[in-house]
Structure 1
Amino acid sequence: MTTSHEELILISGTSTGMGAAAARELARRGFHVLAGVRREADADALRAPGLEPVLLDITDPAQIEAVAHRITTDPAQRPLRAVINNAGTAINAPVELLSMDEWRRQFDVNFFGHVAVTKAVLPALHASSGRVVNISSIGGKVVLPTYGAYGGAKFALEAMSDALRRELAPHGVQVVVVEPGGVRTEMTGHGITRANATIAAMSPAERGRYGGLLQAIINQATAFTASGLPAEAAGRIIADAATVRRPRTRYTVGRDAAVLTRLPRLLPDRILDRVLAADLRPHFPKNYPATA
């Protein structure tokens, strides 16, 4: 087995948050990290010993092809230890109000882009007996109202990961899923900004149906994130998932994730609906008739 400084790891979505933390942790452990970013400014901020930023918009086939070529033509001929599919985006909106363009955007970034990157680097992973690490979410196991598009993409990522794990296991390539709960990252803040924009664009009738619900979701997400793990703690778990000798098939990040990802297996749907509604109820605006 090669030592860490002789191996590459590719990770997408490293501009901020868990991705940046995982990239820095892997570089600290001695790997040469190809850190995917979407903008040159983010590359400049991230560049460090062992950290090589690469432009990687996972919805751009040309950039995916360029990164795959960078791996196969590595000057030091280092094998690819792992690809970590971490890039993501989120917007909270009721199914009725979310545009079809935004539905497609959610799936392009949170699912199809990861499939495309994985397919592009699988030849290198076959050659190295490497690993695929897919960053999912508790939203890939249990979905709150307004998380339909994000959760749908994460459910798809979970299903694809199961299929891929069973396809690749006979050939020595491992597939691991990481399911974070509350983590203090910038993505939650971006999602809250978009949710507020959705509220502002609602018609009076839509606001009557969904305004209180969406405000409760915003309040809950804010509290959930504030009490969550720091990105560095999540980064260490992701780094472990990519590098330990015998990884689990799934890792949760945070106590909340460990609990919530098990609820769908333990509770009937109607009971789970009531549990989630009760947890959301305190976050509704005062005097709002919360019936969610």
Structure 2
Amino acid sequence: MTVSHETVVVTGASTGIGAASARELARRGFHVLAGVRREQDADALRGPGIEPVILDITQPEHIAELAGRVSSLRALVNNAAVQTNAPVEALPLSEWRRQFEVNLFGHIAVTQALLPALLRRSGRVVNISSVGGRVAMATYGPYASTKFALEAVSDSLRRELAPLGVRVVVVEPGAVRTEMPDRVIAATKQQAATMSPEHRERYGKLIQAANAHAAAHIPGGRSAADAAKVIAKAVTAGKPRTRYTVGRDAALGTRLARVVPDRLLDWALAASLRPHYPKVSPVPR
């Protein structure tokens, strides 16, 4: 079947922000092709206005199959992402490449394949970045670098497509209460366990502090449904902004990155981590 009327594609829709966005857009009357990687995720998501499709954005055949059945498209929401945090020195290049394959190259591949359908509808590309696409905390280098790159690609794409009637919008969430933070912390711990003794000596406490910092901030984050409303606004606004933030932390972080000198920002980020370092027990005398 060819889908052509008011269709939106959402990648990474199995859980969290992607699933919430699929539901919010369907509630607003769109036919949502929701990209998931497993049949069990498809069964959980399927509902009125939501048609799950098996889509691994690193697999060209999945992308080609999707492009082959979409003749015109109102919006593409590039949401799929993976994340493992680690110091730059300690993360194997294979893991760097994996994060770039999903968080950047996969989105470029999907966008290239679906642009003809977006051009027919004067549609919209909505790229889900992060506050980490503007501010890179210690141990967040791998993930943040993919998001910095996605921000740059979005800027170029916006300027290329504006004369052709396709708008490009970036959404930058901060802390959001989804399953992803727990997965990231678990993946980070697993990666840390494989580090060399020298790397553990240099970075072990930093990684513990960064994980504790993330865990402490998630409960105060916005809900996935709140994020989905911002994404739906990016899809539907008549004159969308080039960027939207989700949450006070994202709004503050992106502003600070623009106006605060690097050294002062370094100090502020280090200070925010300091309370989360593991406590050292005093040596008995």
TM-score scaled by structure 1? Answer: 0.93
State the SS of the aligned residue for 1:96: helix
1:75 alignment partner in structure 2: none
Which of residues 143, 151, 158 is equivalent to 1:150?
143
2:195 alignment partner in structure 1: 202
* Superposition CA RMSD, Å: 1.2
1:60 alignment partner in structure 2: 59
Q: How does 1:225-244 map to 2 (within 5 A)?
A: 225-244=218-237
Does 1:286 find its partner at 2:285?
no
Which of residues 140, 163, 184 is equivalent to 1:191?
184
Instruction: Give 1:201 deviation, angstroms.
Output: 2.4
1:10 alignment partner in structure 2: 9
Instruction: Give 1:203 deviation, angstroms.
Output: 3.3
Q: How does 1:69-108 map to 2 (within 5 A)?
A: 69-72=68-71, 79-108=72-101
Cα distance between partner residues in 2 of 1:144 and 1:169: 33
2:131 alignment partner in structure 1: 138
State the SS of the aligned residue for 1:262: helix
Does 1:121 find its partner at 2:120?
no
Instruction: Give 1:186 deviation, angstroms.
Output: 1.2
Cα distance between partner residues in 1 of 2:31 and 2:256: 38
After superposition, the C-alpha distances for 1:7-48 in whole angstroms (9 at most, x for unaligned) are 000010000000000000000111000000011111111110
2:257 alignment partner in structure 1: 264
After superposition, the C-alpha distances for 1:51-105 in whole angstroms (9 at most, x for unaligned) are 0001110000000010111112xxxxxx311000000000011111111110000
Q: Which moved more, 1:192-201 or 1:243-252?
A: 192-201
Letter in 1 for 2:159: R
Cα distance between partner residues in 2 of 1:267 and 1:49: 47
Cα distance between partner residues in 2 of 1:44 and 1:16: 12
Instruction: Give 1:269 deviation, angstroms.
Output: 1.0
Instruction: Give 1:215 deviation, angstroms.
Output: 0.3
Cα distance between partner residues in 2 of 1:24 and 1:204: 46
1:76 alignment partner in structure 2: none
After superposition, the C-alpha distances for 1:138-186 in whole angstroms (9 at most, x for unaligned) are 0000000111110110000000000000000011100000000000111
State the SS of the aligned residue for 1:71: coil
Runs of at least 5 residues in structure 1 that lack an aligned partner in the other structure: 73-78
After superposition, the C-alpha distances for 1:238-289 in whole angstroms (9 at most, x for unaligned) are 111111111110000001100001112111111110010001111111139x
State the SS of the aligned residue for 1:84: strand
Cα distance between partner residues in 2 of 1:203 and 1:249: 43
Letter in 2 for 1:16: T
1:246 alignment partner in structure 2: 239
1:51 alignment partner in structure 2: 50
Cα distance between partner residues in 1 of 2:191 and 2:219: 22
Letter in 1 for 2:189: N
Cα distance between partner residues in 2 of 1:239 and 1:264: 26
TM-score scaled by structure 2? Answer: 0.95
Does 1:31 find its partner at 2:20?
no
Q: Which moved more, 1:193-202 or 1:182-191?
A: 193-202
Does 1:171 find its partner at 2:164?
yes
Cα distance between partner residues in 2 of 1:6 and 1:170: 23
Instruction: Give 1:115 deviation, angstroms.
Output: 0.4
1:21 alignment partner in structure 2: 20
2:215 alignment partner in structure 1: 222
Instruction: Give 1:225 deviation, angstroms.
Output: 1.2
State the SS of the aligned residue for 1:247: coil
After superposition, the C-alpha distances for 1:98-135 in whole angstroms (9 at most, x for unaligned) are 11110000100000000000000000111110000000
Cα distance between partner residues in 2 of 1:56 and 1:115: 14
Instruction: Give 1:6 deviation, angstroms.
Output: 3.8
